[in-house]
Structures are given as structure tokens and as C-alpha cells.
Structure 1
Amino acid sequence: MGGHGHGEPYTVPHPSCYKVENVPQLLKVKEALGRQGLSDPWLRNEAWRYEKKAFGTHGSRLATFMFRGLGVGFCAALATIAVEYALGIGKGQGDHGHGHGHDDKKDH
């Protein structure tokens, strides 16, 4: 299924590569739980979220989220303006349709 014989689309890392001790935020949680006499056996399962190599930092993810597609959108806006200008669309609409054939001059 999927891949069409090109091999696995990804490799699943071995769970032992993710350790709470490698993540300062999770280590603080583990220590706080330890002070209360508690432990979280599933805490290691959250360590992958903090791997900067695979997921970047919080700031880089935020920048990607905010600016993804900005270049394409800007180019599309320029293309739209160029096409409207070339076809004459939008010219003479500065009066917002209030002309209706009436002269601006008063009757004599």
C-alpha cells in the first residue's frame, strides 16, 4: 500500500533514543513529580516533541506558520493587479458608480 515499491517513506527511530534526561523541560516535570512522590512512566513518550533536529525550535515553527505561503500570495496579488491593468478592469470606477449620466454642472 502506498509508496509503489519505492521503500518505506520514513524510518521509525528506536524508542531508546528519546530520553527524558535529554530534555530540560521534561526533566523539570520529572523532578517536580518526584518531589511529590509521583512518577510518570509515559513521560518519555513526549521527548520526541522537543527534538530540535526534526521539529525545530518554537520560534522557527512559529515563523514557518506565520509566513508560509507569503511569497506565493504576493506573486498572486501582483499577477492579479497586472491582469486587471492589462484588461482595463477597474478603470473609471473612482466615482463608485454615482455618475449615472448626470452632469456635474447646474442647469443654466
Structure 2
Amino acid sequence: MGGHHGEPYKVPHPSIYKVENVPQLLEVKEALGRQGLKDPWLRNEAWRYEPKAFGTHASRLNTMLFRGLGVGFCAFLVTIGVEYALGIGKGQGGHGHGDHGHDDDKKHH
């Protein structure tokens, strides 16, 4: 759909990912070793902890929380400006304040 831009994605060689380079996975490996177990697929999770490829936890959180905030705020300002320019919403917030039926009271007194 979107067309082809630049080189196709290059898959890195799996040997660059090592459990020993990731403290969290090293803890898992050692805990399994204490129980006499081994996880041959543990290395497959190492890419998740590569900050260059996947980002840090904080950067992913920032992206999730604040993506689109600037566009959304600009849309909010445009909406407020259009409503103000067209006079939309004026007189709807009074709920009983104003001249609604008060002229009748003056005529009868």
C-alpha cells in the first residue's frame, strides 16, 4: 500500500543478541540454572532489551502517552476558535439566567 521507501528492512543476525548482555535475562538464566533447568529460547527475548532497536521503557511510555498530543491540542484550539468566531454555544450555559419570562412579571405588577 504505502509504496517502497529506501532499502528493505534488514534483519540483524541473531548472534548479536546475547543473554549475558541483558541483566534481567541473566537473572532468569541463573535462576533456572539453580533449579537445574535451561531455556534454549531465552536469547530470543534479548532484542526487547536493546535500546537502539526497541527503545527504553521510559521512551516507549512517553511515546504511548504523548503521541498525538500536539496535533490534538492544535485541533482543540481550532475548535475553540471556530466556535468563538461563529458564536456557537453562547447563551447555552445560563440555565435560567437572562430574560426568559421575566418581562411577564414586570407587566403584572
Into which bin does the TM-score normalised by the smaller protein fall? Answer: 0.7 to 0.9
1:86 aligns with 85
2:13 aligns with 14
In the alignment of these two chains, the number of paired residues is 107
Gaps of 5+ in 2: none
Q: CA deviation at 1:94?
A: 2.4
Gaps of 5+ in 1: none
**With structure 1 as the length reference, what TM-score do the two structures score?**
0.86
- Equivalents in 1 of 2:40, 2:92: separation in Å? 68
Runs of 4+ in 1 over 2 A off after TM superposition: 1-7, 96-101, 104-107
2:27 aligns with 28
- Residue 102 (structure 2) pairs with residue 103 (structure 1): yes
Identity of aligned residues (%): 78
- Equivalents in 2 of 1:104, 1:44: separation in Å? 82
- Equivalents in 1 of 2:98, 2:2: separation in Å? 62
- Equivalents in 2 of 1:47, 1:85: separation in Å? 54
